[in-house]
């Protein structure tokens, strides 16, 4: 993590330091007193419902050795290590941008409607076989998370894999300017941001902002299975180095043979000397994410054997195609978020499993889809395959549209619409789940992982 004197930090953030503590050493930056480490700089952030300046005094008492303070904020503490700035968020971002440029580090920026966190995890696993690698923790991928991730790098970091998210035009451009990526990955474009941006073209536009901060000689890797993304790259006239990846033969990097099943995925690339790559991670969409990671790892010079080893040993962040055993059945926990593209990918993973006798799909609301929400939910319901799913359970008012469409093709007793997760838990408690595979998929706001907790608790009491 960043280690500088208070005078150095003040200069990097665009402020004047307090006089007689100018040589005070600061290690690390924090914006939340709950995660504060002694010796760090506390940065108070103003939000719609909170003002971090209210916690500056508490942060200093808990061990922060300095704090930023926005000009004009009342009740400034009488403390010698207060750094006054015009805006604390802007100062934090400027500090991160400057720190990134002081280090001999290559930065990889990753964005996409789906798959960016998994691609980040896979790429970091591949790069860690060869380089001192730092990556975004969890999904700290916004205007606060990206600066904090950069400031969390050690001086010796050789490569940083930075995830970038957005909800509006201009946000990725700002993050890219801070991070200054040497390579960029765009994993996908889908309906996930329709509620915020309105059209698919604007979603593509927002994702392509990532290349604005790309350094000269950098690489843009993108999933060429999305025609709108390919067209968008042509439209913006990007002329730097590119590599496309995906399952379509038109991509620069694509498999000629592949499988995805209970044991994970494996594939052979269409190359002069075909090599087999394999991973115990489930989901053919994760195979596509792996292709993007391989493209960047090769660009950075990771040896092929280490790429294969890193891929096989990689692990993903939780609640993303996570297989959980509960007693004598399996749960496919994909509860982190949900949109039509990710639901289809999760369903394909469910279909690809061969061993469980019975397959159940529990699907919750997909939020932030804008005016197309009902139609998109109905389209998922119409696509559910009664030959490969034994029971469909939906959760939420929009999930009911999925159930309504599924009921047109499934026998009546095989589709159940529940108002909330409590009703879904009650319904599952009536099922004989042994030798089943239960997919649970829904948007983050529904917190459908609570269903897994309830099923685990029931199993613990009954065993």
Residues making up the binding site for ATP? 112-118
Assess contact for 88 and 42: CB atoms under 8 A: no
DSSP string, 294-338: HHHHHHTT--HHHHHHHHHH----TTSSEEEEETTEEEEEE-S--
Bridge-based pairing state of the strands 41-42 and 29-30 = parallel
Q: β-strands 276-279, 264-269: how paired? A: antiparallel
The answer to whether residues 194 and 369 touch, using CB atoms and an 8 Å cutoff, is yes
SS3 at position 408: coil
SS3 (DSSP) at 410: coil
Q: Round to whole Å and give the CA distance between 177 and 297.
A: 23
What does the DSSP 8-state code read for residue 280?
S
Q: How far is the C-alpha of 130 from the C-alpha of 358, rounded, in Å? A: 43
Whole-angstrom Cα distance, residue 259 to residue 48? Answer: 48
Contact present, 174 and 210 (Cβ < 8 Å): no
Taken in order 450, 339, 142, 132, is the CA torsion positive or negative? positive
DSSP string, 347-392: HHHHHH--S-SEEEEEEE---S-GGGHHHHHHHHHHH--TTT-SEE
CA atoms within 13 A on the CB side of 50: 8
CA dist 176 and 198 (Å) reads 23
Q: Binding site: what residues are annotated?
A: 112-118
């Amino acid at each position: 993590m960043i280690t500088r004197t208070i005078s150095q930090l003040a200069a990097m953030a665009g402020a004047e330091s307090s006089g007689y503590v100018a040589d005070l050493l600061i290690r690390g930056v924090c914006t939340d007193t709950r995660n504060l480490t002694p010796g760090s700089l506390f940065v108070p952030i103003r939000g719609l419902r909170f003002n971090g300046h209210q916690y500056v005094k508490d942060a200093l008492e808990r061990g922060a050795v300095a704090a930023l303070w926005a000009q004009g904020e009342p009740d400034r503490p009488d403390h010698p290590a207060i750094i006054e700035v015009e805006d604390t968020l802007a100062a934090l971002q400027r500090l991160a941008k400057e720190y990134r440029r002081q280090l001999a580090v290559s930065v990889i920026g990753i964005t996409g409607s789906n798959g960016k966190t998994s691609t980040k995890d896979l790429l970091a696993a591949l790069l860690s076989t060869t380089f001192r690698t730092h990556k975004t923790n969890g999904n700290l991928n916004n205007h606060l998370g990206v600066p904090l991730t950069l400031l969390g790098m050690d001086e010796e970091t050789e490569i940083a894999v930075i995830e970038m998210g957005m909800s509006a035009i201009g946000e990725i451009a700002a993050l890219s300017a801070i991070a200054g990526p040497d390579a960029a990955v765009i994993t996908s474009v889908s309906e996930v941001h329709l509620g915020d941006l309105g059209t698919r073209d604007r979603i593509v536009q927002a994702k392509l902002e990532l290349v604005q901060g790309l350094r000269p000689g950098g690489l843009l890797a993108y999933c060429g299975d999305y025609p709108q993304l390919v067209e968008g790259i042509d439209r913006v006239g990007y002329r730097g180095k590119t590599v496309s990846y995906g399952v379509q033969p038109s991509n620069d990097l694509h498999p000629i043979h592949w499988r995805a099943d209970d044991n994970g995925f494996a594939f052979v690339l269409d190359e002069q000397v075909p090599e087999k790559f394999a991973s115990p991670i489930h989901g053919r969409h994760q195979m596509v994410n792996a292709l993007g990671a391989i493209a960047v790892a090769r660009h950075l010079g990771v040896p092929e054997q280490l790429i294969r080893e890193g891929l096989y040993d990689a692990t993903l962040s939780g609640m993303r195609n996570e297989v959980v055993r509960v007693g004598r059945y399996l749960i496919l926990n994909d509860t982190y978020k949900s949109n039509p593209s990710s639901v289809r990918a999760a369903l394909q993973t469910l279909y690809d499993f061969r061993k469980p006798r019975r397959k159940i799909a529990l699907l919750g609301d997909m939020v932030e889809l804008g005016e197309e929400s009902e139609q998109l939910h109905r389209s998922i319901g119409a696509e559910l395959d009664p030959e490969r799913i034994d029971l469909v359970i939906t959760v939420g008012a929009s999930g009911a549209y999925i159930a309504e469409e599924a009921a047109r093709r499934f026998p009546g007793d095989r589709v159940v619409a529940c108002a909330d997760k409590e009703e879904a838990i009650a319904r599952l408690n009536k099922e004989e789940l042994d030798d089943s595979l239960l997919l649970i998929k829904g948007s983050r706001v529904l917190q459908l992982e609570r269903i897994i907790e309830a099923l685990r608790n029931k199993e613990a009491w009954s065993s």
